[in-house]
Structure formats: C-alpha cells, structure tokens
Amino acid sequence: MDKLRKANIYIDENRIPREKLPVFHVTPPCGWMNDPNGFSAYQGKVHLFYQFHPYSEIWGPMHWGHYETKDFIKWIELPVALAPDQTYDEAGCFSGSGIETENGHLLVYTGVMEKEADKEKVTYQNQCLALGDGKKYTKLEQNPVITGEMLPEHFSREHFRDPKIWKENDGYYMVVGNKTDQGVPQVVLFHSEDAIKWNYVSVLASDRDGMLGTMWECPDFFYLDEEYILITSPQDLCATEEFHNGNNSVYYMGKYDKKQHVFHYERVYSLDDGFDFYAPQTMLAPDGRRIMIGWMQSWDSNIRPADQKWSCMMTIPRELHIEQGRILQNPVREIENYHRNAVCYQNKEISGNCQMEDIHGRVLDMTVEIVLGDFHQFTISFAQNERYHTDFTIQKDSKMIEMNRTYSGMVRDAAAIRKSKIKTSTDKLQLRLILDKYSAEIFLNDGQQVFSSTFYTPLEADGIRFICDGKAVVNIEKYEIVVD
Ligand code: FRU
C-alpha cells in the first residue's frame, strides 16, 4: 500500500478522542509531532503542516501532517500531505515552508536520503517541492530542485535543511540552514525566478563569534516594522544570561546589505525563556500581520506520561511587532472571540497565600497586573491542588523569573526549574497567562518576554493561587476559553 494511504488509514483507526487533547493548541491526531512546517495562507485560509510520525509517540520517518484554520484558534484536520515515499526523501520529509503561487500551493521541504559509502551510511539533505490545492499535494518530477552539490566547497551536504521561501519583486528567495565542514553554523540563500530552478546566492549570516551552537536549524528571514529579522534554532548552546542550555530559538537584528545579500547582525536574543519552545516559523497573514507559531516542546526533556498516545503540541500563534529594538509577541487577537465568563478584580490586595473562589481552571486567558508591590517574591501557582502545582515566580530584588514544574506530577528526571533574568524594559509587572490543559504560555509586559512550558498534571488539579511574601495590589482579568 502506498505510504500516504497507509498513514491516513492508520490515523483514522487510532485518532485520539478530541476531549483528551488540548482545546485550541495544535497536536497530532495520534503519534508524534515536531516542527511547524508550511505555515502559509492559500486561497484565504491559513495552512499549517508539521513534522509527523503517526505510528508511535516518538520521532520516526517524517511525514507532513496538515491542518487548516480561518482564525488560528479552531483547526480542521486534513489528510497527511507528504510521506517519505521517493528515493530522494525515503529517510524523511524534513521541515520546510509553503507559499501561494499562480500554479497552486507550493510546499518546499528537505528530502533526506541515506547512501552506503565504504560501509558507512552517509546522509544527504536536499530541497524538494510539492504542489497542491490545499488538500492534496504532488511532489514535482524535477525533485530534488536544490542539492548539496550547488553549495560552495566545504559546506555540509549532510546538514542542509529547513528551507523557508518568500517572494520579492525580482522572484523567489529561500533561506536554508547549513554549516561548514569545519562546523560553523550558517544560513545560505537561494534565488529563483519560477520557484523551480534555483541558484545559490550567498551566506546570509553565519556564527562569526563561535558562540551560537553547532547547527542553525529552521531559519526564517523577514521584514517587520522597518527592521530585518533573522530567526534560527541553534543546536547545542552553552547557557549565558540570554540563552538556556541546549537547543534555543533566537532572533538576530542588524543591517541587511541587499546588494551583497548579507545580513550583518548586531544583536541576538532568545525568543522564549520557558522549557518548551523550538523551531518556530512565521507567516504573513492575509491582513498583513506577521504571525509566529513554535513547537512547544524541548528535544531534551519530554515529560509526556508514558501512557499518553500523542506526543507534543504547538504554541498559540503569536502576533509579532518590534518595539524599542526587541520583538514583542502576543497571542493572536482571535483568541478573544472565545473568551467566556469574565472575572475581574480591581485593586485586589494579595498578601500571603490567596485563592479566589472564581479564579480556577485549566483552559483560560488571565491577565494579572501588579499595580503596587511591596514584596520580594510574587508567585502564581496553577494546575494546583493538595498534591500538585506549577509555579511562576517573580523575584523582584534580583529581577529574576523562576518557572518551577517540580510538583506538576512529572515522573521523568528532566529540567523542572528554569530561571531567567527579567529582560523587559519597564518597571511595570503585567503577566498574561494562557493555559490549555497541559501547557502554560506566559507573556510578560505586553509580550516583551515569553515563557512557554508543558506539564501533564491530572486535570482535576485546576486551582490557582497567588502567593506573596509582602503585599501586592493587583488587577485581574480572567476568561475561560471555550471552543465548540
Ligand atoms: C528541528 C529539526 C529540523 C528537521 C526536523 C526533523 O527540530 O531537527 O532541523 O528538519 O527537526 O524532524
């Protein structure tokens, strides 16, 4: 049986009941999900594909799963779009992107193949195309359209993946993650007039200081609020004040020399300081908004319960803007259409351990603004009952945030506490907490800093507590999120 059909039949027989899954975060229908792929608009709808292994809860030969949406909140599952069924992609259809063209919806992905040479397996990663109508996609006969042979000498043919395509006046451009044979991570740029025949252009950016890991995965390059932004997901970082250990997702700001096609970055920042955020991808929505979605999972610490038959999820899509030289991220405004049962408190005094009768739940959108504070520590403790809790703590004197999921019920010896500097530019303290059963995304000070994390606490733990070692005066606005 062909691999696409086989995957679709398997999914139909093993689909996880809707009520077991998060309410508005994209998950696989069964099995394993990683990076967002092909996030793009086509004929007025938004499409999201993703790295998908339907057959087990761990990574395996990569397919592209597929969803569409009209509002980034309610997602419709569509048949699997790509399966690793050709010689040039038989080891996997790796990450890539999508774009609307005159000929249809074009997907660009990395075809991975393995060859035996001197009794050793050698991996090749090449860029391939598939064209579709929003439901069904056909791989092009010309595949692979970009091979490692088109790269300059001493650039890796083994680590050459994750193409992101966009269009300009003079044709199509594509950035791809790569590294040199000496191990320097870089992003390479290609150009094409028809999106099929491509030419190598330049190294758009590379790790000139040797500080940013071993390989830059999932590059994205775009213009936003009069700045050029490069995003990559570098592997294997050592922690600094800005970055945490392991794989991070970062953005670079600087100057783009459009003639030489070189991006001279001056500053690099982390995109998210939670436990679980990787491989984000952005799209330009039909109304002009730049929207980013990320994989809400870390490669190194998956704490999914062993009996859960689905693995991993995406973040809520986020609107991006630039203010004071930094990216601001905020949940797409469409979430507000699903707000129900408002609860508001004005100038509420919090001191010691406080619980409000009408503030609880595991699927919600809550903003807490600290208007006056005389304290060292202020904690929001959620997914909480006598046995469990996950805590987000502001340590005011040291200007630190601590995320703590030690008591979330996790049974893996994985990262449970993460600390980060408060990096926002104002003294104000405002937190927006988006909860969806097994995840928390916290947007600090209008999205100047974000913390995304998963936790798999039993759902009956739905309490929320505020803990303050002094006195805080807060305004709270809380909504349940109901998606039918
Ligand atoms: C990032 C990544 C990509 C690759 C994909 C494979 O998480 O490693 O570089 O294309 O996952 O599933």
Question: Domain ranges in the chain?
Answer: 3-331, 337-481
Question: Can you give 415-464 as a three-state secondary structure string?
Answer: CCEEEEECCCCCCCEEEEEEEECCEEEEEECCCCEEEEEECCCCCCCCEE
Q: What SS3 state is found at 334?
A: helix
Q: Which has the closest alpha carbon to 364: 306, 440, 421?
A: 440
Locate 382 and state its tokens.
Answer: 């959620």
At residue 427, does pLDDT exceed 90? no
Tell which one of 33, 51, 164, 311 to mutate to probe ligand 1, the residue whose CB is within 8 A of the most ligand atoms.
51
Mean pLDDT score of the chain: 97
Is the C-beta atom of 391 inside 6 A of ligand 1? no
In what helix (H) or strand (E) does residue 7 lie, and over which residues does it extend?
A: helix 3-14
Distance, CA of 481 to CA of 484 (rounded, Å): 10
Other CB atoms within a 10 A radius of the CB of residue 158 amount to 15
Other CB atoms within a 10 A radius of the CB of residue 343 amount to 17
Q: What SS3 state is found at 11?
A: helix
Is the C-beta atom of 178 inside 6 A of ligand 1? no
Is the C-beta atom of 249 inside 6 A of ligand 1? no
Q: Any idea which fold 3-331 has? A: Tachylectin-2; Chain A (2.115.10)
Per-residue pLDDT band at 119 (split at 50, 70, 90): confident
Q: Is 89 marked active-site?
A: no
Distance, CA of 37 to CA of 98 (rounded, Å): 8
Tell which one of 89, 161, 178, 249 to mutate to probe ligand 1, the residue whose CB is within 8 A of the most ligand atoms.
161
Indicate the class that CATH gives domain 337-481: mainly beta
C-alpha count within 13 angstroms, C-beta hemisphere, residue 460: 2
Per-residue pLDDT band at 425 (split at 50, 70, 90): confident
Is the C-beta atom of 89 inside 6 A of ligand 1? no
Q: Which residues contact 366 (CB under 8 A, 6 or more apart)?
A: 359, 432, 433, 435, 464, 476, 477, 478, 479
At residue 280, does pLDDT exceed 90? yes
Ligand 1 atom nearest to 233, measured from its CA: 1
Are 219 and 205 a contacting pair, CB within 8 Å? no
The radius of gyration of the chain from alpha carbons, rounded to an integer in Å, stands at: 22
At residue 159, does pLDDT exceed 80? yes
- State which amino acid sits at residue 323: E
Is the C-beta atom of 94 inside 6 A of ligand 1? yes
- The pLDDT tens digits of the residues spanning 6-51 come to 999 999 999 999 999 999 999 999 999 999 999 999 999 999 999 9
In what helix (H) or strand (E) does residue 76 lie, and over which residues does it extend?
A: strand 75-82
What pLDDT score was predicted for residue 57?
97
Q: 470, exposed or middle or buried, with CB in 10 Å at 0-12, 13-18, 19+?
A: middle
Terminal Cα distance for the chain, rounded:
36
Share of the chain above pLDDT 70, in %: 100
- The pLDDT tens digits of the residues spanning 197-244 come to 999 999 999 998 999 999 999 999 999 999 999 999 999 999 999 999
Mean pLDDT across 470-475: 97
Region of residue 3 (phi > 0: left; psi between -120 and 50: alpha; otherwise: beta): alpha
- The pLDDT tens digits of the residues spanning 405-423 come to 999 999 999 999 999 999 9
